[in-house]
A and B are shown apart, each in its own frame.
Chain A
Amino acid sequence: MEAGVAIHRIRVTVTSHNVKSLEKICADLLRGTKENNLKVKGPVQSPSKTLRITTRKTPCGEGPQTWYTFQTRIHKQPTDLHHPSEIVKQMTHQCGART
């Protein structure tokens, strides 16, 4: 451990169904970090997973073979930060306030 402020390596993974909100939070994180002039490796775009459920529309077996294809996409963006402990608190507060 270094003398002075202990800097932690933090990997923050933000997961959401909604890309816009995800982007916003990552932007906030980045902004917060840049204000404090800390090192950050920006949000990494990991491939979004699509969860699919394909079911028949009908409650019975009768009728034309129509199917629903339900989908949700999960987007994940891990961000690497180098933050001291105090900033961690600020970050959680900020992230909480934003969502």
Chain B
Amino acid sequence: MDCGFVCVFLFVCLMACSDSVPLKPHRKKKPFIEKKKAVSFHLVHRSQRDPLAADETAPQRVLLPTQKINDEERRAEQRKYGVFFDDDYDYLQHLKEPCGPSELIPISTFSAPDRRDEKEETLVISTTGIKLPSSVFASEFEEDVGLLNKAAPISGPQLDFDPDIVAALDDDFDFDNPDNLLEDDFILQANKPTEEEGTGIRKSEAEDDSEWEDMDDEKEGGSDDDNYGSAGSSDEAMSVPGKPPGTVENHLFWEEETKSRFTEYSITSSVMRRNEQLTLHDERFEKFYEQYNDDEIGALDNAELEGSIQVDSNRLEEVLNDYYKEKAENCVKLNTLEPFEDQDLLMNELDGSEEEEVITVVLEEAKEKWDCESICSTYSNLYNHPQLIKYQPKPKQIRISSKTGMPLNVLPKKGLTAKQVERMQMINGSDLPKVSTQPRSKNESKEDRRARKQAIKEERKERRVEKKANKLAFKLEKRRQEKELLNLKKNVEGLKL
């Protein structure tokens, strides 16, 4: 079943069985397992250190007996040792008794555990006498290194690779050196009869102290075009095989010196497994280090650090010349000349020195010329989006009507109210045709003229009366409203309720 990271805990409680009692209705149910007689286990993966972990037939899960210890008892025990926490954690596991002087007891001959094939031995659990097949439990014997740890890849420097590989992994390896390149058909070459390769390895003892690169040359044989060195060494490689087999055989066992220069040194190197290549490595290093033996080091004439030297001596002159050369080089490097501030110039003291004229040259940096258009063209388009300039007329000032206090021309104009519409439809007295408005007929008799004029006069009279009445009404109304406003202002305004 594929459940990803599923953790399932199986907790198994076993008890020796006795016949079940038929239940009576009002009786208390007998518990299935009596806790005092029962044994509990956890079902866990088999330990990696268990040798049966590699065995496919053995079950990969085992029963691990649980330690049942009462919380209260544990806490009491903990308090004895000064741990006063009252949680569920077992602090006793971190307390260990100091071990007294230990006694060495020789063990009897150690016998490897028998493999349990078909016949199963039964394991008897002491307290309750429950018998279970032993394969269900973990093996008694555990290896030191678990299965997974054995399979883990080794990290760190591994010196048991071939020396040319080790050399290639080194930082100083020169990849451009044609000697160090691999042949295109190196696999074919490698598959050739192995005698060449074998002798290549043994050759080392006959050689002088060689560096790793030399080994590369010899192994790859004739490499690229114009490389006389490697051609020469490949010849050497062919000729040498004659020698080493003989030398190796003569190397008698009791002549071998087992003590090396490094026997008293680091512990780690002795712990690393020594295979053929590593032993080789060690021996070569021994050889190399022979150089530094006391008797190997040559005359120490030049190594004295004390003493005096004549001013005229060649060595001092050489030193001075080198110094001048350096200074000359430094002079060339400067772009702009600055006043030379070196106080320790020996030049002034010695004759035959170079004389320099200090000329100050002012260098003007080439200035770039900019104009508006080029500047504008440097602007990025992210921020600069040219557009046509739109004409925006000055917005009209908002005017407020004095009567209502509302802005004019903003609100939609009101239509006629219903009352107004009704009134319009009503026929007024004013709608009646007036004499003054009627056109004068051409053929008018005197009476008609007189009548018409009379009518007009009367209309005007009526109109005058109307006007007077209107005026009066308005005046009265105005007066009334003003009075009201005044009253309001005087009495109501500022009145706090």
Does the CB pair B6–A21 fall under 8 Å?
yes
Chain A residues close to B by CB (< 8 Å): 1-2, 6-18, 20-22, 24-25, 41, 80, 82, 85-86, 88-89, 92-93, 95-99
Does the CB pair B17–A6 fall under 8 Å?
yes
Nearest chain A CB to B54 CB, angstrom units: 16
Question: What residues on B are CB-neighbors of A6 within 8 Å?
Answer: 16-17, 130-131
Does the CB pair A96–B32 fall under 8 Å?
no
Does the CB pair B136–A92 fall under 8 Å?
yes
With contacts A16-B9, A96-B43 known, is A9 near B33, CB below 8 A?
Answer: yes
Report the bound CA distance from A6 to B411 in whole Å. 102
Does the CB pair A99–B15 fall under 8 Å?
no
With contacts A11-B33, A85-B132, A92-B43 known, is A17 near B7, CB below 8 A?
Answer: yes
Report the bound CA distance from A20 to B8 in whole Å. 11
Q: Does B11 sit at the interface, judged by CB under 8 A?
A: yes
Q: Please, which residue of chain A has its CB at the minimum distance from the CB of B13?
A: A11
Count of chain A to chain B residue pairs whose CB atoms are closer than 8 Å in the complex: 100
Residue interface bits B333-363, CB-to-A below 8 A is 1, else 0: 0000000000000000000000000000000
Does the CB pair A22–B8 fall under 8 Å?
yes
Does the CB pair A10–B43 fall under 8 Å?
no
Report the bound CA distance from A85 to B123 in whole Å. 11
Report the bound CA distance from A16 to B17 in whole Å. 28
Report the bound CA distance from A22 to B8 in whole Å. 7
Set A10, A13, A41, A85: member contacting B133, Cβ < 8 A: A85
Q: Does B426 sit at the interface, judged by CB under 8 A?
A: no
Report the bound CA distance from A6 to B11 in whole Å. 20
Residue interface bits B1-40, CB-to-A below 8 A is 1, else 0: 1010011111111111100000000000000110000000
What number of B residues sit within 8 Å (CB to CB) of A?
31
Nearest chain A CB to B10 CB, angstrom units: 6
Q: Please, which residue of chain B has its CB at the minimum distance from the CB of A12?
A: B12
Does the CB pair A80–B59 fall under 8 Å?
no
Q: Does B62 sit at the interface, judged by CB under 8 A?
A: yes
Does the CB pair A15–B122 fall under 8 Å?
no
With contacts A85-B122, A89-B59 known, is A12 near B16, CB below 8 A?
Answer: no
Question: What residues on A are CB-neighbors of B122 within 8 Å?
Answer: 85
Does the CB pair A10–B16 fall under 8 Å?
no
Question: What residues on B are CB-neighbors of A14 within 8 Å?
Answer: 8-11
Which secondary structure dominates where chain B touches chain A? Answer: strand
Report the bound CA distance from A83 to B9 in whole Å. 19
Report the bound CA distance from A8 to B43 in whole Å. 17
Set A11, A20, A82, A92: member contacting B17, Cβ < 8 A: A82
With contacts A85-B132, A85-B133 known, is A13 near B11, CB below 8 A?
Answer: yes
Does the CB pair A21–B33 fall under 8 Å?
no
Question: What residues on B are CB-neighbors of A97 within 8 Å?
Answer: 60
Q: Does B74 sit at the interface, judged by CB under 8 A?
A: no
What are 26 contact pairs spanning A and B, CB under 8 A? A8-B15, A9-B14, A9-B15, A9-B16, A10-B12, A12-B10, A12-B13, A13-B10, A13-B13, A14-B8, A14-B10, A15-B8, A16-B6, A16-B7, A16-B9, A21-B6, A25-B10, A80-B32, A89-B135, A89-B136, A92-B43, A92-B62, A92-B136, A95-B61, A96-B43, A97-B60
Set A80, A92, A99: member contacting B63, Cβ < 8 A: A92
Nearest chain A CB to B121 CB, angstrom units: 12
- 11 further A-B pairs in the complex, CB-CB below 8 A; given A25-B10, A95-B43: A8-B14, A8-B130, A9-B33, A10-B14, A15-B11, A21-B8, A85-B132, A88-B14, A92-B43, A96-B60, A96-B61
Question: What residues on B are CB-neighbors of A89 within 8 Å?
Answer: 59, 132-133, 135-136
Question: What residues on B are CB-neighbors of A93 within 8 Å?
Answer: 59, 61
Question: What residues on A are CB-neighbors of B15 within 8 Å?
Answer: 8-10
Nearest chain B CB to A13 CB, angstrom units: 4
Q: Please, which residue of chain B has its CB at the minimum distance from the CB of A29?
A: B10
Q: Please, which residue of chain A has its CB at the minimum distance from the CB of B9?
A: A15
Report the bound CA distance from A11 to B63 in whole Å. 14
Q: Please, which residue of chain A has its CB at the minimum distance from the CB of B136?
A: A89
With contacts A13-B11, A80-B32 known, is A18 near B136, CB below 8 A?
Answer: no
Report the bound CA distance from A20 to B3 in whole Å. 9
Q: Please, which residue of chain A has its CB at the minimum distance from the CB of B133?
A: A89
Question: What residues on A are CB-neighbors of B8 within 8 Å?
Answer: 14-16, 21-22, 25, 99
Does the CB pair A11–B133 fall under 8 Å?
no
Q: Which one of A41, A93, A97 has the greatest number of beta carbons of chain B within 10 Å?
A: A93
Question: What residues on B are CB-neighbors of A80 within 8 Å?
Answer: 32
Question: What residues on A are CB-neighbors of B7 within 8 Å?
Answer: 16-17
Nearest chain A CB to B132 CB, angstrom units: 5
Q: Please, which residue of chain A has its CB at the minimum distance from the CB of B59?
A: A93
Question: What residues on B are CB-neighbors of A8 within 8 Å?
Answer: 14-17, 130
Q: Please, which residue of chain A has its CB at the minimum distance from the CB of B62?
A: A92
